[in-house]
Amino acid sequence: MLEQLKLFLLPPSASAPKTRQILVAGQVVDYHLKIGTRRLSMTIDERGLRLSAPTRLRLADIEQFIQGHSNWVVQKLDELARCDKPRQMTVKDGVTLPLLGQSIDVRVLPGANRFRWVAQTLVLEARPEADLTTLTVRALKARALNHFGERLNHYTAQINVPPPSLGLTAARTRWGSCSKHSGIRIHWRLIHLPPHLGDYVVAHEAAHLLEMNHSAKFWRIVETLYPDWQTARNELKNCTTTLPIL
């Protein structure tokens, strides 16, 4: 299944991909192709449709891959075309950010590059030359680790297992992961979304503590922890194009 998480990431490009065109569902679509990666992948962001492919892969196979996801491509490009709110954000005094589904204000004051939370306000105490984006991300990650740690304790208690170590991830293809060796990792950008969506991801990863697979037994555990998991899973797919890019 094509992952949706890639939609909101804008990684820097090492070299300019080659632009091509393809007819998808009756409309001409530009796409950018970068050759030389380990595997075939496709992303859609504010730059449009982008693909990375191994050198050995034929162009016909690459375009067949696009056609195989034609509905998804057209839907996501249409969503971006109708989005009137820029997602690339510049952190400055007075800007607002989504936090757990609500808007918070950002205040910038003179200080020693620290942050603090005052009710629904993120206060950045920064030096004149400070990178406000980096400071903001640090604050959001701290909030995410605390919030998702509490939710992990909640869900592991329901299945009578001790909570494993919790870390944050910025992975391009997953909302979360679970490993017997490294514990559970949750994507920090989930802190922007309403709490019930983060709960689904945490419950999903907690279920992996009992079943390290996606078998029918695994999904029964998920349903026990989070009965409305299918709705949340579908909602997550539609949220990625609304996340701010910091």
∠ CA 79-231-98 to the nearest 5 degrees?
55
- The pLDDT score that the predictor gives to residue 17 is 56
Dist. CA 44–CA 42, nearest whole Å:
7
- The pLDDT score that the predictor gives to residue 67 is 94
- The pLDDT score that the predictor gives to residue 119 is 87
- The pLDDT score that the predictor gives to residue 15 is 45
**Element counts in the chain: helices (H) and strands (E):** 6, 11
Strand-strand pairing, 121-126 and 102-110: parallel
Q: What is the mean pLDDT of each run of 10 residues along the chain (246 residues)?
A: 40 55 90 90 83 92 94 85 66 93 94 92 93 95 97 97 94 86 94 96 97 95 95 84 78
- The pLDDT score that the predictor gives to residue 26 is 86
Amino acid identity of 19? T
- What domains are defined for the chain? 5-82 (no CATH), 96-242 (3.30.2010.10)
- The pLDDT score that the predictor gives to residue 83 is 60
- The pLDDT score that the predictor gives to residue 102 is 92
pTM given for the model: 0.68
